[in-house]
Structure 1
Amino acid sequence: MKKHRKGIDIISQLPDEILIRILSLLPAADITRSRILSNRWKHLWAFLPNLHLVMPRFEEQVKKFNDSVDQTLALRDGMPIQKLYLQCSCGGNNNRVNDWFRVVSQSQVEEIEYRFLADDTNDIRFHLDLSITFNTLIKLTLEGVALVIPKVGIPFPCLKKLNLQFTQHHYKHSLTKLISRCPVLEELCLDRPGLTCKSRIIKLRSRSMRRLTIERCEFKDQKLVIDAPKLEYFHFFACYFRKYTLKSTTSLVEAYISKARYHSIVKLLRCVSFTKILTLTRESLMALGTMWGITLPMFPNLVKLEVPWLETLLLILLQNMPNLEYLTFSDEYLPFIMGYNIPNGGGTCLSSF
C-alpha cells in the first residue's frame, strides 16, 4: 500500500463534485470559514445547491457583501438552486436585491427564504418586485417585505407553501390578489401581516389551500372571509377581527383556537363547527365564559377535543358534541371526569394524554 507523506492535503485533491458534497453537509458558519483554506476552496461554496447569504450589519461591509453575491450568482451561471436563504438589513439596496431575485428566478430555484431586518423604528423599506415569475418555486418565506402585486401575470405558478411574516400590503385587496396568483397553493401562514389601506374585508380565497395559519393579527374593523373549500387545518392565534366567515367548512379536520376577541369567539367557533379535532386554550375558554346567554354551536363531527380544565363551561360544551370520543386536558393535572357520560351524546368521553 502506498503511503502518503505527512503534510500533503489529500482532501483538496478530490474532485469538485465530492468537495461540494462535503461542504453541503456542514453548518452555514463552517461553510463560510472554508473559503480561507486555500484558493481552491475560495469559490467552492458558491456552487452548493443551498445558498445561505447574510448581509453584515456594518455599513462599511455591505458593499463587499453585495459584490460577493453578484460574483456568486455570476459564477453559478444559471446552475439550479435548491434553496436560497437571504437576510438583508437597512443597508441593502432595493433595486440590487430585486436584480438578484431576477437571476435566481432563472436558476430553477425551489425554495426562497428572504428576511429583511428593519431598523429600530420597524420601518419596512424593501419592496419585492412580483412582476418576476418564479416558475419552479415551491416554498416562499418573506419577512419585513412590502408587497406590491402586479395587475397581470402569475408570479408563482408552482408555489405550494407561502409564509408571510411582518409584511405590508399597500393596496386594497393586495393580499387577496397575491393568493390568487398562486393557483396550486396548499399552505398559507400569516404572521403579523399589515394593511396600510382601509380594507373593510380581508378575503383569503383559494381552491387548493389545505392548511391556514393566522397569528398575531389585529384588525378591529375588518371582516375576515376565508373561502377555501379544501381547507383541512386551521390555526388561529392572538387575532382580532370584527367578524368571521369561513365558507365550505365540511372538509375541515383540525382547528386550533387561541386568544380570540371576547365578542367574536362564538362566531369563530361557528365557523369551525364541522371540524373533527378541536383545541381550545385557556384564553379562548375564558373569552367564551363571558358570553352567557348566547347559544353555542353544535359540533356534529367532533371526535377529539383538547381543553384546559374549566368545569362548568366544559360540561356545557360537551352537550353540543354528540360524537366526541377523546377528551385531552392540556393542564398538568387530571380532573375527575373519567367515564363521564355526555348528555344527549353518543357514548362515553375518555380522557387521554
Structure 2
Amino acid sequence: MKGKQPAKDIISNLPQNIIETILCHLHIRDAVRTSILSKNWRYSWTRIPKLVFVEDIFEEEYEWRQPRNLMHLESKFLYAMYQVLLMHQGPILQFTCDMRAGRNRFLIDQIILHLSRSNTVTELKLQLNGDGHPYVLPFSIYSLQKLTYLHLFDCRIRHKPTFSGFGSLTTLCLRCVSIYGETLLRLLSKSPLLKTVTLSLFCRGEHISFIELLECLPLVENLTIANEWIDMCLFVEAGPQKLPSPLVHLKYVSLDMCFVSDHGLSLLSVLIKSSPNLEKINLQSRRYYRDELCIETNPVKLEDYSDIWLEHLNELKIEYFAMLKTELEFVMLILAKSPVLKKAKIVLDTEVTKVEEMMLSRMLLKLFLVKLPVSPVVEISVERLPGDKN
C-alpha cells in the first residue's frame, strides 16, 4: 500500500506578482499578517504598490483591548503608518489616508514629505477630519509630479507661486477644501489634462469669474460643483455669456445649487451654451439653498435663456424639486430643447404635498397629449426622496 502523498503547498509557491495582487486587495493590517504564511510571503507586503490606511478600522481592533483614548489612538495609528512606510521597499503608486487630523499633524507632514521624495505616487487620497480646523497641506505635496488622481477632504491649500503644475493629473476632487480663488485657478490651469473635476470649497479672497474657471478645463468630461462654492466664489457678468472655445469633451454636469435663481440660471446657461456634447445633467436644489423670497421678488425670465439647445442630452435628473413656478418653467424649457432626451427624473422635496405631486404628473402628461415639442422617446418619472412619508 502506497503512502499518502504530502499535500502540495500551493499558497507558498504562488508567483510573486500574484502574491502582490492578493495583498493589494487586503487591508494593510491583514497584509502585514501574511508574513507568517511562508518564507515567500514574509516580506512580500513591503513591496505592494497600494497602501490604504483607515483609522476607523484600526480602532475597531484596538478598542477591545484598551479604553478609548482618541489622542492615544491617533498617535498609535500614525506610528503604525510611519513604520509601514519605513519598511516599504518598492514604489508606492496609490496612497490613501483616512483619519482625524488632530495634534499630530506634523507627522502627516512628514508622511507627505516622505512620499514626495520618492515621487512615485500616481493616486493620492487624503480624507482628513480636522474638526473645524482644516489640515494645512505642506508645500511638499506640489512635488508629487506623477499624480493622475488627487482627492482631498477637509484641507487648506496654500498658494505657491513657483508651482509648475500637475502635468499628468486627470482626476481632481476637492471636498470641504479651503483655498484662495487665485490659487485654485493656478492649480487648474497648471493641470492641463483634467477630465473629472469635483469642487466643494470654502473659497477665500475675491470672487472669480465662472468663465475664467471653465477656461482652465479644456478637456473636462465630468464636472461637479457644490453650492457653497458657487454662491460664495463665482460670478457671471451680465448679458449672454459663452466660452471662446467650447467644452467639446464635457458629457456630465452636476450642480448642487439653487438653479432657479438668476445667479444659478446664469451659471447653468453658460455651461449649456459652452457644452455642445452634453449628455447628462444632474441638479440638486436643497431647501436650505433656496432663497424663495429672492425668487418671488426677483422673478427669473426664462425667455432670456430660450436660445439654449441640448442636442445630445439624454438624461436629466432634478432632486429636491419644490414645485416653484420657475422650477416648473425650467423643466418645460429643458424638455422642449432636448430632442433626443431619453430619461427625465424629478425627485420631489419633502414639503411637496400629494396633491401637488398629482398636479405635476398631469402637467407632464399633458405635454404629450397636446403634442408639444418633446422628445418622442423620453420617459419622465416623478419620485419622492427615500423615507419621505408625505
Q: Distance in 1 between matches of 2:295 and 2:311?
A: 20
Aligned-pair identity (%): 18
Relative distance call for 1:190 and 1:49 in structure 2 (3 A) is same
- Trace 1:44-55 onto structure 2 (pairs within 5 A): 44-55=44-55
CA RMSD of aligned residues (A): 4.2
Partner in structure 2 of residue 313 of structure 1: 329
How far apart are 1:341 and its partner, in Å?
A: 3.4
Is 1:148 the counterpart of 2:146? The answer is no
- Residue deviations 1:306-330 (CA, integer Å, cap 9, x gap): 3679796368526962x62335331
**Native 8 Å contact 1:138 1:161 kept in 2:** yes
Pairing 1:40-189 to 2, within 5 Å after superposition? 43-55=43-55, 58-77=70-89, 79-91=90-102, 93-105=104-116, 106-119=118-131, 122-130=132-140, 132-169=142-179, 171=180, 173-189=182-198
Matched, 1:302 2:293: no
SS at match of 1:156: coil
Residues in 2 aligned to 1:270 and 1:60: alpha-carbon distance in whole angstroms: 52
* Higher mean C-alpha deviation, range 323-332 or range 155-164: 323-332
| Deviation, structure 1 residue 188 | 1.4
State the secondary structure of the residue aligned to 2:51: strand
Q: Which residue of 2 aligns with 1:198?
A: 205
Distance in 2 of aligned mates of 1:244 and 1:50: 48
Distance 2:239 2:81 in 1: 46
- For the 8 Å contact 1:253–1:277, the answer to whether it is kept is yes
> Within 5 A, what are the aligned runs for 1:213-232?
213-218=224-229, 220=231, 222-224=233-235
For residue 341 of structure 2, what is the amino acid of its counterpart?
A: Y
Residue number in structure 2 paired with 1:233: none
Q: Which residue of 2 aligns with 1:21?
A: 21
Q: Distance in 1 between matches of 2:207 and 2:239?
A: 10
SS of match in other structure, 1:214: strand
**How many residues are matched?**
325
Query: Shift in Å at residue 296 of structure 1?
Result: 3.7
Q: Identify unmatched segments of 5+ residues in structure 2.
A: 60-69, 348-360, 381-390
Residue 267 of structure 1 is matched in structure 2 by: 266
Equivalent position amino acid for 2:316 in 1: E
Q: What secondary structure is seen at the aligned counterpart in 2 of 1:153?
A: coil
Give the SS at the match of 2:125: strand
1:11 aligns to what? 11
SS where residue 160 of structure 2 aligns? coil
Give 1:212 deviation, angstroms: 1.9
Question: How far 1:179 sits from its partner (Å)?
Answer: 1.4
Q: Does structure 2 retain, via aligned residues, the 8 Å contact 1:278–1:302?
A: no
Matched residue type, 2:202: G
C-alpha deviations, 1:267-315, integer Å up to 9, x for none? Answer: 134213435546465849x989953655241223435463679796368
Give me the whole-angstrom Cα distance separating, in 2, the residues matched to 1:22 and 1:271. 47
1 CA distance for matches of 2:178 and 2:341?
A: 41
Q: Residue deviations 1:214-242, cap 9 Å, x none?
A: 1242464543469xxxxxxxxxxxxxxx9
Structure 1 residues 211 and 21, CA, compared in 2 at 3 Å: closer, same or farther?
Answer: closer
Instruction: Give me the whole-angstrom Cα distance separating, in 2, the residues matched to 1:86 and 1:315.
Output: 42
CA distance in 1, matches of 2:295, 2:75: 57
Equivalent residue letter for 2:271: V
Change (3 A) 1:301 1:152: same
1:199 is paired with a residue of what secondary structure? coil
User: Deviation of residue 245 (structure 1)?
Assistant: 5.9
Residue 329 of structure 1 aligns to a residue in which SS?
strand
**AA of the residue aligned to 1:341:** K
Residue 27 of structure 1 and its aligned partner are, at CA, apart by: 5.1
Aligned letter for 1:317? L
* Alpha-carbon contact 2:223-2:252 (below 8 Å) kept: no
Read off the aligned partner of 2:160 and give its amino acid letter: P
- In the superposition, the TM-score normalised over structure 1's length comes to 0.72
Q: Read off the aligned partner of 2:5 and give its amino acid letter.
A: K
| Greater helix fraction, Structure 1 or Structure 2 | 2
Give the aligned partner of residue 345 of structure 2: 330
Q: Where do 5+ consecutive residues of structure 1 fail to align?
A: 227-241
| Higher alpha-carbon deviation: 179-188 or 244-253 | 244-253
